[in-house]
Structure 1
Amino acid sequence: MHFLSFRATTLLQLTFLTVYGAKWTYIGPDGQHHWSKQYPYCGAAFQSPVDFMPELLRFNSTLRPIEVHNYNLSPSEQLTLRNSGHSIQMSLPPKMYISSLPYRYTAAQLHFHWGTSITPAGSEHMVNTKQYAAEMHVVHFNSDKYSNMAMAIDKSDGLAVLGVLIEIGEFNPAFEQFLMFINGVKYRNQRVRVPGFNIRALLPARLDEYYRYDGSLTTPPCYPSVLWTVFRDHVTISHKQFMTLATSLYSSHAQDSVPLPMNGNFRKTQPADSRVILVSFKEGRGLHSTLTFTSPQMRKQIVQQLLAGDLADLADEGLYQLLPSGSERLRAGKRKEQENQLSETPAKSKQQTLNPSLSKKSQANRTVGKSQLAEDVLCYISLQQRVSKQLKQPHTESQLVHALRDAVFPQSPGQNRQRVSKQLKQPHTESQLVHALRDAVFPELNLKSYLDCKSDLAIPTIRHILHERPTEEDLELDHSLTKALMNGKKTSTAIKKRVPATNHGGVSPVTVPRKPPNLGYPHPWLLPMEWED
């Protein structure tokens, strides 16, 4: 966790405060590379879209076909088509819902992303580097737990989005049902009424083959609150229909002197962050060679053993093979700063808004129940508001740091103060503020996603779990880890480069220590430990 000097107070206020009215675009000074200035989650963990690369795919035989209900609307039902300034968006009635997910998700709206007339490649998700002409998103919110879209948008289980990839090909009569009204929404904030039609016809014929993963909104504020389902089969629209979409709309208001065309409104793909992509289909090329995944029961057992400190049993049973190793997860050339990770992760591990099952209990009673994880939801807005509230009060430089620490990590121990003081002596950049937020939420999101079989268990999360053991073991662990990492640093001279991110979360890049000779375990945190049963 990075902390700030007093002179960065104003910057922190701007960064952590949710500014719904802030201007953003896809290119230029307010473009997607700068979104995290006003919306820090846009630079944080579990972001979307992603590229469905073959090595990320895992077949899951338990994935059920998507079941849509009440998608065939009567022409008497009026829908609202509007120009949001970033896309065209159509409202959907609350009687529409999908039921094949852990909760009932009620439809709210659908919208589109597309390329340009010159470059008809504008889908947000990609399949093995292939980008389609456009993409449709049908957005639903968790109506079992939240009363409306606004209440659900910042919760980790709040949203479910159906993604449809669109290619140029045959004419699509279903799309013509709203494209015929597009001239009524040429400019920003314009609206027009559209008669209801069969929304199901906008989806592919097969709803049983799809990609599934945990991700985020693809536009600010980029909350990582979306369960994504992107269908394997694409749909087609004609070249004329695509050109209508790509050339008829403007991001500017009708009264603006310089009209700004609306096209190329797609976000670039984001890092995998240890996530895997579950797929409901087994046949076909491009799937990972091992079309299986570790069962939820086995994953729960692994986490329980980590929580209880049964590292010897973990090794004896061979379960360590299911955890990320330095050689597998942190490839050569990736990097330095594991000593920074060592000093910072204890603070991260105290952020417990999502998983109270990780709080200090007796070892015998420590469990991670999926029901608990389902009920205890990380609220991203409240995290930002707690920080902002602290900043509104007069404070000294020291109080600022303590306020930030206490807001993000309510149970942060006093031993972190020396690390905080050390951080204050160094300048901090805006990107480090974003990294701080990423580091705060990544272990929680990764653990929840891991137990749902949609992520690998990342090293930062393992450390997050291990630091919940009793104080004596916590200190012994840190001592042994430090020793192992220092030995690895001495024996490895090739790994010195730094990169902005890793494949397993938003923590600082780390050094890959070489495995000490004559030891059979590839995990740095397990190597030097001599745990007794």
Structure 2
Amino acid sequence: MRKESLARYFYKMLFTQLIILIAFPLSSTGGTWTYNGSEGEHHWSKHYPYCGGAFQSPINFQPELLRYDPDLLPVQVHNYNLSSKEQLTFSNNGHSVQLSLPSHMHLSSLPDQYTAAQLHFHWGSPHMLAGSEHTVSGRQFPAEMHVVHFNSGKYPSISIAADKADGLAVLGVFIEVGEFNPAFDRFLKFVKGIKYRDQKVQVPAFNIQELLPAHLEQYYRYDGSLTTPPCYPSVLWTVFRMPVTISLTQYKALATGLFSSLAQESVPVPLHRNYRKPQLTDNRVVLVSFQEVRGQHGRHLVASPLQRRQIIQQLLMGDLSDVMDESLHHLLPKLARKPWVAKKRKTNQRYQHWSQITEKKQRNQMPNPTGKTPSVWKTVHISPCWQKYGINEDSLSYTHLKNNVTLQLGRHHTDIQVVKALRKAVFPELNLRSYLNCKSDLDLQTIRCLLRTRPTDEATELDQALTKASQRQKLKPMAENRGPALTKLTGQTSVTIHKNAHNMVPANLKEHATEWED
């Protein structure tokens, strides 16, 4: 019996390791996705359903999304000045060029420590200097660099962290074409050695911080996803406001000297225009660490962290008539406040007092000795929507959730069913977490998830009132909501975008070896 138990344990561990290798291959071998054509981004959700889901990246940083946050600290990088005695792997994975980074590089200006893993690039074509993934008021930069970090404070490796909600943090850097950049030339001069997919060379290490802008205190921050399959919504994005420059010759080294095909293939496929188009905002807002001279980005947050927690607690345990009477504009700030009669009305002095409390006093009332954000669902004492799929909080991973959703849908499920089920399962959790951290407005779907814990007449009345308010508010054209240049970038009309709001391109779900870059 003892030998039999050991044998079962051995095969169980072997099977677990096999699954890990399938999901996160040790080396990049290309994938079944591209940026254009039959496997292009509009078809990614066919094999990677999160690509058609919630909180996707990149987005367009349009003025109406920006919220100035004076408490955002400058980005603090550590051990970025590498010794030239170290060697970095410079490779072509068929989707981008990638530079490996040592594990002693890390960020310390976030709630957890995030360790560097790699950096890579997105760019346009030789004749189109437009290849950044994020855009600013519709403007697309020639290229964009992503420095990828994983949450080493909670997870032992990037492979394990990648499909967790707080697993990754990425620094984004816009790249302009201008003066020659000696820091970029440290590795771009080796591009000829990685012309084809799966080729790699060793390059001497250097000061990686020289690749970043001089001003690390000015940036955009929001909650988003990987911009490549499997598109897990697991990324805290920090995109620097100021671009860096490279010369036209350096830009063309990327845009003309690389191929996404293998060296032995008879018809080489150029590697360019490797960027994903802007995605839906999903009630998210973008925090900025800077104020415009003219004050365009100086508008305050709709509600402070303390106010937001109080609103959630009010929904869960408080008098809902107070919410209906005083705080409808806090719950759905994008809706115009409409007068309506509640069954019960009371004067609540706390809501009137909120506006008089300063941000500093609010922070002093919320001591947090660990400096870490507590679990959202444990804080508000409710069960997340994904628990019905047999997932508990300690074992939540987007990979596990996808497998359980697929299993419960049965053999003959459709692609759109998988995409919608996953979105329905993860969106309230993402929205609530982001809302409490001031990076989203509270969505009606999340409010309903909270109200389900209170099967009362007042909860039903509030649900109905919010629904009516939402229906009365005419939807703005999606192109306007997502930025003036987005329709041009995606090639879709506002009507088409609205129809595809929840799933850009539904398709059949199939298991494939997972490859991700961001």
Which TM class, normalised by the smaller chain length? 0.7 to 0.9
Compute the displacement of 1:357 (Å). 4.8
Compute the displacement of 1:436 (Å). 2.2
Change (3 A) 1:51 1:329: farther
Q: In structure 1, what is the equivalent of residue 270 of structure 2?
A: 261
The yes-or-no answer on 1:436 pairing with 2:421 is yes
Among 355, 358, 371, the residue aligned to 2:377: 355
Q: Secondary structure at the match of 2:37?
A: coil
In the TM superposition, 1:102-117 aligns within 5 A as 102-117=111-126
**Letter of the structure 1 residue corresponding to residue 202 of structure 2:** R
Q: In structure 2, what is the equivalent of residue 222 of structure 1?
A: 231
The yes-or-no answer on 1:324 pairing with 2:332 is yes
Residues 115 and 264, structure 1, Cα contact 8 Å, conserved in 2: yes
Compute the displacement of 1:329 (Å). 11
Q: In structure 2, what is the equivalent of residue 446 of structure 1?
A: 431
For residues 209 and 44 of structure 1, what CA distance do their matches in structure 2 show?
29
Residues 22 and 38, structure 1, Cα contact 8 Å, conserved in 2: no
Residues 332-375 of structure 1: CA deviation (Å, up to 9, x unaligned): xxxxxxxxxxxxxxxxxxxxx972455569xxxxxxxxxxxxx8
**Letter of the structure 1 residue corresponding to residue 405 of structure 2:** V
Residues 192-232 of structure 1: CA deviation (Å, up to 9, x unaligned): 00100110000000000000000000000000000000000
Change (3 A) 1:381 1:285: farther
For residues 256 and 493 of structure 1, what CA distance do their matches in structure 2 show?
53
Residues 48-97 of structure 1: CA deviation (Å, up to 9, x unaligned): 00000000000001100000001011110000000010000000000100
Q: In structure 1, what is the equivalent of residue 453 of structure 2?
A: 468
For residues 191 and 67 of structure 2, what CA distance do their matches in structure 1 show?
40
Compute the displacement of 1:438 (Å). 1.1
Among 380, 394, 397, the residue aligned to 1:379: 397
The yes-or-no answer on 1:30 pairing with 2:39 is yes
In the TM superposition, 1:83-482 aligns within 5 A as 83-284=92-293, 287-288=296-297, 290-316=299-325, 318-324=326-332, 327-328=335-336, 355-357=377-379, 378-389=396-407, 400=410, 430-469=415-454, 471=455, 473=456, 477-478=459-460, 481=463
Q: In structure 2, what is the equivalent of residue 64 of structure 1?
A: 73
Compute the displacement of 1:499 (Å). 6.1
For residues 488 and 78 of structure 1, what CA distance do their matches in structure 2 show?
56
Change (3 A) 1:30 1:360: closer
Compute the displacement of 1:287 (Å). 3.2
For residues 406 and 475 of structure 2, what CA distance do their matches in structure 1 show?
43
For residues 90 and 493 of structure 1, what CA distance do their matches in structure 2 show?
47
Compute the displacement of 1:429 (Å). 5.6
Q: Secondary structure at the match of 2:38?
A: coil
Compute the displacement of 1:323 (Å). 1.7
Residues 100 and 118, structure 2, Cα contact 8 Å, conserved in 1: yes
Change (3 A) 1:193 1:461: same
Residues 439 and 507, structure 1, Cα contact 8 Å, conserved in 2: no
The yes-or-no answer on 1:54 pairing with 2:39 is no
Compute the displacement of 1:501 (Å). 7.1
**TM-score, L = length of structure 2:** 0.74
**Letter of the structure 1 residue corresponding to residue 401 of structure 2:** L
**Letter of the structure 1 residue corresponding to residue 426 of structure 2:** V
Residues 114 and 246, structure 1, Cα contact 8 Å, conserved in 2: yes
Change (3 A) 1:506 1:235: same
Q: Secondary structure at the match of 2:144?
A: strand
RMSD: 3.4
For residues 330 and 468 of structure 2, what CA distance do their matches in structure 1 show?
25
**Letter of the structure 2 residue corresponding to residue 68 of structure 1:** V
Compute the displacement of 1:314 (Å). 2.3
Contiguous gaps of at least 5 residues in structure 2:
1-21, 339-374, 384-392, 479-493, 505-518
Change (3 A) 1:286 1:43: farther
Which one is further off, 220-229 or 382-391? Answer: 382-391
For residues 31 and 380 of structure 2, what CA distance do their matches in structure 1 show?
36
Q: Percent identity?
A: 55
**Letter of the structure 1 residue corresponding to residue 449 of structure 2:** H
For residues 204 and 48 of structure 2, what CA distance do their matches in structure 1 show?
36
Residues 193 and 201, structure 2, Cα contact 8 Å, conserved in 1: yes
**Letter of the structure 2 residue corresponding to residue 117 of structure 1:** P
For residues 290 and 90 of structure 1, what CA distance do their matches in structure 2 show?
39
**Letter of the structure 1 residue corresponding to residue 235 of structure 2:** V
Contiguous gaps of at least 5 residues in structure 1:
1-16, 331-352, 362-374, 392-399, 405-427, 509-533
For residues 226 and 198 of structure 1, what CA distance do their matches in structure 2 show?
25
For residues 288 and 465 of structure 2, what CA distance do their matches in structure 1 show?
41
Residues 247 and 261, structure 1, Cα contact 8 Å, conserved in 2: yes
Residues 213 and 275, structure 1, Cα contact 8 Å, conserved in 2: yes
Change (3 A) 1:113 1:311: same
